[in-house]
Amino acid sequence: MSSLVNILLQGVLLGALYALFAMGQSLVFGVMRLTNTAHGDFIVLLVFVLFVLTNLAHMPLWAAVPVLIGIAFCAGYAVQYTVLNRVSSRDPLPSLVVTFGLSIVIQNVLQEVFSADPRSLATGGFESMSITLPGGIALGLLPLLTLAVAVVATLFLQWLFGRTPLGRVFRATSDDREIVQLMGISPRRTFALAMGIAFVLIALAATLYAVRTAVSPSDGPALLLYAFEAVIIGGMGSFWGTFLGGIALGVAQQIGFYIDPGWGIWLGHVLFLALLTIRPQGLLPKTA
Amino acid sequence: MNVNERHFEIRRATRASRVAVFVLLIVAVLVASFPYWAGRDTLRDFTQIAAYLVFAMMWNLLAGYGGMVSIGQQAYFGIGGYAMLILANYGGLSPFAAVPVAGVIAVLIAVPVSLVAFRLAGGYFAIGTWVIAEVFRLTLANVSWLGGGSGASLTALQDIPRSLRESLTLWLALAIVVAAIGLLYVFLRSKRGLALTAMRDNAVAANSQGVDVKRARFVVYLVSSGGAALAGGLYFVSNLRISPDAAFSVNWTAFAIFIVMIGGLGTLEGPIIGTLIFFLLNKFLSDFGTWYLIGLGTLAIVVTMFFPQGLWGYVSRRFGLQLFPVGRRVVFLDPGAVVRPARAESADPRHAAH
Amino acid sequence: MIVEAILETRGLTAFYGDFQALFGIDVRVERGEVIALIGSNGAGKSTFLKALAGLLPASAQQIAYRGEAIGGMPAARIVGMGIALVPEGRRLFASLSVEENLLLGAYSSRPGRWTLDTVYTLFPILKERRHHPATALSGGQQQMVALGRALMSNPDLLMCDELSLGLAPVVVREIYAALPSIVGDGMSAIVVEQDVQLARRVSKRFYCFQEGRVSLAGASAEVSDEAITRAYFGAVT
């Protein structure tokens, strides 16, 4: 029995990371209907930027992370404004191909510069610290931190979209990008801002990911699929939905790993497809 | 200019297209004779080109005509390969006969898969199909009697002398390419083909004109899947060895996308030209490894942003060339009248005002 | 001293891709005036307003606002200069409530008498429904929201595209009854209407559009019904 509880808890903690991967994508798809095939690769890219900051520039982690966030925001804004804005239209093909191209470029540039070897971030032991619950279940501090960050991120996005003027701008631009100009809003700048925020979320996810596992340049596509599945399972248009979707995915994968290591990821994919067949609108679909 | 007052007729072929069809026939005969005089490398090259070409044509059919962009057609490429292997190694069927059967099997599998995949649309359909392909890959990687992650060999061809095997493979490749091009050409010229073009440009309007959009999309998906399986089966007959990572790799779709981006979406000649260019690039530059891929990726980005019709599409619109005339043009019969080809066939789906 | 017109177009042309919708429109709006644009469907009235609002490209010299050439300027800048459009079909933001739609109208932060409170005074029913999703309201109420949203930018030139579209006559009357108090303090307005009599009642001058050209212009009170019918439908060949 305690092993079932353990699986569920580990699944939730794994899922929190997936939820964090997915938040950025949920935001971007919500505001500008953009399918970013390079989403996972941007996570990996920021991981390697972090490596450069900590290893080459010898920055301590507590200083490197804010710098990373600053770099991420600017990079996201720039990428959207210069490249992706040209292809963010109703036809999905251009944005798919362009981001697909970006994905390949990023993976190969990273491989050229850093070699294909996986590497991870050392934090002097934090990644292996844990607290032990009664019953002998150990919960890692890093996964708990990840869960906390994921919850805070979800709350933040929910607040941003629902209660702030910027959130109004995002929702209106997503509704009608032509008419929103009549209010004095530039859709192009709005999209760039959304992408900038999404990149900040990606930076947070990248940091936690790099501390947790060894990352290699080709990890991107797998992360994209997890993020995407979390968004669909949870229901499009809802940040809490994305959060729950990530958790559900993490739990499914953990159960799969327990049955047999080869079937872990498979079970996650199958859960996704099953949910898509039975309840395509997701767990918490937007009612509007 | 009142059309009623001028004499005109509707024509399909252009001079360029007549020349092109003639050239292709000659090429087909030439290729058929390869086994009698060409080197092993040439035979192998052609088979590879054939596999890339057919897969790209099927992706083009799905995206350019069906309006469904998929990053998961490699699922059927792999199914084609594995079905052929199973039928040949364990079913006693000749691999060359197994390829078409594999195509049929893929279509049968595509039916239930489409029920799931069609729950999604647009960009999310694209990624969803990728997930489905991953499920196939992971499933097969866990099946130990098929070699699991390290794959299996096509033992059924062990006893055939090598030169015979290579000749038969080449003729199979040629047959598949000719059949694919021929069938697509006939299909797109027909009423159904016109319906597809209408559907791609504006599904709602097409629906109101009596085009059954759902059914048409379903049929296109099935055809595309069957064709992808033929390409896969062919490729692994030539390769003699299959593994889940090779069979279900997303790179197949990546290459199809590049080919179509170079050649232009939604034309019949686009994939042919695109494949030839891509293959040449591949042959001479792939030694540069990562830099070659970086170049390809950058090319895809640049072409999509600045040449949304593809490089060939840009050229063909600029100079009015259309090699496979599936559209119709109005030709005025006045002496000295300027003949301008209709834009129907290479029409950009984004052209329709939304 | 010649009083400068608040808006003047000179030979304004407009295209949708290869299709030409406007063939050289000359229209003039004096300060504080309400003019009407009438014409059948597809005559180019909405196209004209869109070009003025910056939603369609135009040559700089073709549109003069307060003497300044603004043709081709981005729409987001034009609203900051004091031109507001109530678009055809309302085009409210479905994800936003009534109040949020109105607040968005004030994004450009132009000073003036129109605030949330003054809009609610003008259309009290909106205050009752302020937190409802905007598209859940009735057609007439949605039109009020669209109008209020445009007012929130405190424009000097208000452009209304077919306020009466799809609304019952009694509702239309209610909305147009508010127009005098809106333009009372010197705001200029262009009103596009298919209902000719209504357009004549609310405006001082009118222009009739027909197939992308101005077929008739004059004082609303003086022109004959016959002249309008001829201009509206075009000459018979």
Mutation test of the interface with chain A: which of C93, C98, C135, choosing the one with the most A Cβ atoms within 10 A?
C93
Q: Is B332 helix (H, G, I), strand (E, B) or coil?
A: strand
Two tokens at A133? 């619950």
Using CB atoms, which chains have 3+ pairs under 8 A with A? B, C
Which chain A residues are within 8 Å of C74, Cβ to Cβ?
181, 186
For residue B200, give the chain A residue with the closest CA.
A91
Distance from CA of B35 to the nearest CA of A (A): 37
Q: What is the pLDDT of residue B352?
A: 36
Nearest to A182 among C85, C94, C133 (CB): C85
Task: List for chain A the helix, strand, coil content (%; round to 5).
Answer: 75, 5, 20
How distant, in Å, are the alpha carbons of B78, B134, B152, B321 from that of A268? 21, 11, 26, 49
Lookup result for tokens 């609303």: C220
Residues of C50-86 as b/e, b for ≥16 C-beta within 10 angstroms?
bbbbbbbebeeebbbbeeeebbebebbebbbbbbbbb
Digit-coded pLDDT (tens) for B124-167: 899 999 999 999 999 999 888 888 888 888 888 888 888 888 88
Find the distance separating the first CA and the last CA of chain A, reported in whole Å: 41
User: pLDDT (tens digit, 9 = 90+) per residue, A12-50?
Assistant: 999 999 999 999 999 998 888 888 899 999 999 999 999
**Under 8 Å CB-to-CB from B256, ≥6 apart: which residues?**
B52, B55, B56, B59, B60, B73
Distance from the Cα of B325 to chain A's closest Cα (Å) equals 25
Q: Is B86 on the interface with A (CB under 8 A)?
A: no
At residue C166, what are phi and psi to the nearest 5 degrees?
70, 15
Model confidence pLDDT, tens digit, residues A192-242: 999 999 999 999 999 999 988 899 999 999 999 999 999 989 888 789 999
pLDDT of residue A188: 92
- For residues B136 and A256, is the Cβ–Cβ distance under 8 A? no
CB distance from B120 to chain A under 8 Å? Answer: yes
Long-range own/partner contacts, residues B165-169 (CB < 8 A, 24 or more apart): B166/B35, B166/B40, B166/B43, B166/B44, B167/B35, B167/B43, B168/B96, B169/B43, B169/B47, B169/B96, B169/B234, B169/B237, B169/B238
Q: Which amino acid is at C53?
A: A
Amino acid at A259: I
- B3-351: CATH topology is ABC transporter involved in vitamin B12 uptake, BtuC (1.10.3470)
**φ, ψ dihedrals at B338, nearest 5°:** -85, 130
B353 touches chain C (CB under 8 A): yes
CA of residue A121 relative to chain centroid, distance: 19
Q: How far apart are CA B3 and CA B120, in angstroms?
A: 45
For C161, the 3-state DSSP assignment is: strand
Put simply, the answer to whether B257 touches A100 (Cβ < 8 Å) is yes
Q: Is C149 exposed, middle or buried (0-12, 13-18, 19+ CB in 10 A)?
A: buried
Nearest CB neighbour to A35, from listed B63, B123, B290: B123
Chain C residues in contact with B351 by the CB 8 A cut-off are 17
Instruction: Please return the burial class of A189, using the count of CB atoms within 10 Å of its CB with bins 0-12, 13-18 and 19+.
Output: middle
Torsion of CA B94, B99, B100, B101, to 10 degrees: 70
Q: What local confidence, expressed as pLDDT, does residue B15 receive?
A: 66
DSSP per-residue string spanning A36-62:
-TTHHHHHHHHHHHHHIIIIIS---HH
Distance (Å) from the alpha carbon of B42 to chain C's nearest alpha carbon: 48
| Contact between residue B310 and residue B303 where contact means Cβ atoms under 8 Å apart | yes
Name the neighbours of B, counting chains with at least 3 Cβ pairs within 8 A: A, C
Give the minimum alpha-carbon distance from B221 to chain A in angstroms, rounded to a whole number.
Answer: 17
Quick: pLDDT tens for B157-182: 888 888 888 888 899 999 999 999 88
Rounded Cα distance between B310 and B313, Å, is 5
CA of B187: how far to CAs of B97, C86, C173, in Å? 24, 48, 57
Please list every residue in chain A whose beta carbon sits closer than 8 Å to the beta carbon of residue C100: 168
- Rounded CA-CA distance B156/B159 in Å is 7
CB contact under 8 A, C107 and A184: yes
Which run of H or E residues covers position C192?
strand C188-192
**pLDDT of B345 strictly over 50:** no
Q: B residues 295-324 near A, CB within 8 Å?
A: 296-301, 304-305, 308
For testing contact with chain A, the best of B305, B311, B351 (most A CBs within 10 A)? B305
Instruction: Please tell me which of the candidates A172, A175, A184 has its beta carbon nearest to residue C76.
Output: A184
Give tens-digit pLDDT for B254-285: 889 888 888 877 777 888 888 988 888 888 87
> Per the CB < 8 Å rule, is C94 touching A288?
yes
**Interface residue A259 vs chain C (CB under 8 A):** no
Which residues in chain C have Cβ-Cβ distances shorter than 8 Å to B353?
16-17
Q: What is the mean pLDDT of residues B107-112?
A: 96
Chain C residue with the nearest C-alpha to that of B352:
C17
- Decide: helix, strand or coil at residue C84: strand
Q: What is the topology classification, in CATH, of domain A8-114+131-278?
A: ABC transporter involved in vitamin B12 uptake, BtuC (1.10.3470)
* Burial of B51: CB neighbours in 10 Å, binned 0-12, 13-18, 19+: buried
Instruction: Determine, for residues A184 and C95 on separate chains, whether the beta-carbon distance falls below 8 Å.
Output: no
DSSP state of C2: P
C-alpha distance from B311 to closest chain C C-alpha (Å): 22
- In angstroms, the separation between the Cα of residue C128 and the nearest Cα of chain B is 36
> A228: closest CA among A11, A37, A73?
A37
* B320 φ/ψ angles, rounded to the nearest 5 degrees: 70, 30
Mean per-residue pLDDT, B102-110: 96
Q: Is the pLDDT of residue A280 over 90?
A: no
Rg (CA), chain A: 19
Pairwise CA distance, residues C28 & C205, whole Å: 10
Interface membership of C17 toward B (CB under 8 Å): yes
CA–CA gap between residue C137 and residue A263 (Å, rounded): 51
User: Which among C74, C85, C104 has CB closest to A172?
Assistant: C104
* Residue C48, C-beta contacts closer than 8 angstroms, at least 6 positions apart: C9, C12, C14, C22, C25, C27, C37, C209
Give the per-residue pLDDT at B4. 52
Please check whether residue C16 touches B, CB under 8 A: yes
**Among A165, A171, A186, whose Cβ lies nearest the Cβ of C93?**
A171
Residue whose token pair is 């890093």: A142
Q: What pLDDT was estimated at residue A61?
A: 83
3-state class (DSSP) for residue B109: helix
Which residue in B has a C-alpha nearest to residue C16's C-alpha? B353
Of A92, A98, A221, the CB nearest to B126: A92
User: Which residue in this structure is represented by tokens 């445009």?
Assistant: C150
Residue whose structure tokens are 């329709």: B352
**Interchain CB contact of C23 with A (< 8 Å):** no
Cβ atoms of residues B73 and B228 within 8 Å: yes
**Closest residue in B to C17 (Cα–Cα):** B353
**Residues in chain B within 8 Å Cβ distance of C17:** 351, 353
Using the Cβ of C76 and the Cβ atoms of chain A, whether some distance falls under 8 Å is answered with: yes
Token pair recorded at residue A76: 């996201």
Measured between CA atoms, the residue of chain A closest to residue B121 is A92
What is the residue type of A50? L
Domains of chain C with bracketed CATH = 7-233 (3.40.50.300)
- Contact residues, chain C, for B343 at CB < 8 Å: none
Count contacts between A and B (CB, < 8 Å): 130
Q: Within 13 Å of residue C208, how many CA atoms lie on the same side as its CB?
A: 24
B142 interfaces chain A, CB cutoff of 8 Å = yes
d(CA C112, CA C110) in angstroms, rounded, equals: 7
How does B198-213 read in b/e, with b if 16+ C-beta sit within 10 Å?
bbbbbbeebeeeebeb
pLDDT class for A108, splitting at 50, 70, 90? Answer: very high
ipTM of the prediction: 0.89
Q: What does the block give as tokens for A39?
A: 């989403």
- Cβ–Cβ contacts within 10 Å for residue B305, how many? 17
Q: Do B127 and A228 touch (CB under 8 A)?
A: yes
d(CA C20, nearest CA chain B) in Å: 14
Task: Report whether pLDDT(B316) > 90.
Answer: no
Distance CA(B350)–CA(B200), nearest Å, equals: 9
Local confidence band at A246 (pLDDT 50, 70, 90 cut-offs): very high
For chain A, say whether B115 makes contact (Cβ under 8 Å).
Answer: yes
Sign of CA dihedral B315, A98, B180, B47: positive
Question: Which residues of A, range 183-222, sit inside 8 Å of C by Cβ?
Answer: 183-186
User: How close, in Å, is residue B172 to chain A by CA atoms?
Assistant: 32
Q: Do B290 and A280 touch (CB under 8 A)?
A: no
Which amino acid is it at B157?
L
Q: How far apart are CA B144 and CA A262, in angstroms?
A: 12
Structure tokens at A112: 């050229």
Kindly report which listed range (A3-7, A74-78, A140-144, B348-352) carries the lowest average pLDDT score: B348-352
pLDDT by 10s per residue, chain C, length 237: 456 789 999 999 998 888 899 999 999 999 989 999 998 888 899 999 999 999 999 998 999 999 899 988 999 999 999 999 999 998 999 999 999 999 999 998 899 999 999 999 999 999 999 999 999 999 999 999 999 999 999 999 999 999 988 888 888 988 898 888 888 888 999 999 988 888 888 999 999 998 899 988 888 888 888 888 888 887 654
Q: Is A171 on the interface with C (CB under 8 A)?
A: yes
Chains that touch C (3 or more CB pairs under 8 A): A, B
Of B122, B291, B305, the CB nearest to A92: B122
Q: Kindly tell me if the per-residue pLDDT of B84 is higher than 60.
A: yes
Per DSSP, what are the bridge partners of residue C216? C208
